Homo-oligomer: A and B are copies of this chain.
């Protein structure tokens, strides 16, 4: 009987969806590459949202948005967990699209991890926001309650991340480096390795 050819199958690396507002940076692809390299070194495959890499030329704006949404939803469904950059973005809270993505993965029952590169909690940031004067059209008002749970952002995201074991990892980045400092991201990868032991 002829000998069967030996096939080597590499173990599938767990896939991490890299959520965050970095997709809007001019050097988005570069930063995505740096994150993916850190993932690879920890035994994971890091997948960056596809906003910046789809060919959308010639498409109407709504169709462009639809393609990005579909690509990112498909990418999330293909991933085993998510790490979110929850650093405040254009307001008191994290990027709203990233909040959507945390909810999406949470509903799929997959672990969500997250970090923020600023230290004041949601309550402190909400008070600072008010102190600057509520902008026209904003639905905040002086008598609106401010969450006071000592959490980094709205409890729905924060608790989803607490449930994954680590809580939101907080790091004080230097001013101007809130988007690019990856030390808290690296700490999330350590937490991911504790959570999914088949990372290296």
Residue positions of A touching B, CB distance < 8 A: 21, 24-26, 61-62, 64-66, 68-70, 72-73, 76, 85, 87-97, 99-108, 117-118, 120, 125-126, 128-129, 132, 135-141, 143-151, 153-160, 162, 175-176, 178-179
Contact status A153-B91, CB under 8 Å: no
When C-beta atoms are compared, the residue in chain B nearest to A61 turns out to be B149
In the A-B complex, the 10 residue pairs with the closest CB atoms: A91-B91, A103-B103, A100-B103, A97-B154, A69-B159, A93-B96, A107-B107, A103-B104, A99-B99, A90-B92
Whole-angstrom distance between the alpha carbons of A135 and B89 in the complex? Answer: 10
Contact status A162-B66, CB under 8 Å: yes
Copies per complex? 2
Whole-angstrom distance between the alpha carbons of A68 and B147 in the complex? Answer: 12
Across-interface contacts of A138 in B (CB, < 8 A): 88-91, 178
Whole-angstrom distance between the alpha carbons of A96 and B101 in the complex? Answer: 11
CB distance from A63 to the nearest CB of B (A): 10
Across-interface contacts of A129 in B (CB, < 8 A): 90-91, 135
Extra pairs beyond A87-B137, A104-B106 (9, CB < 8 Å):
A21-B144, A24-B147, A64-B149, A70-B159, A89-B140, A90-B91, A97-B154, A99-B100, A106-B107
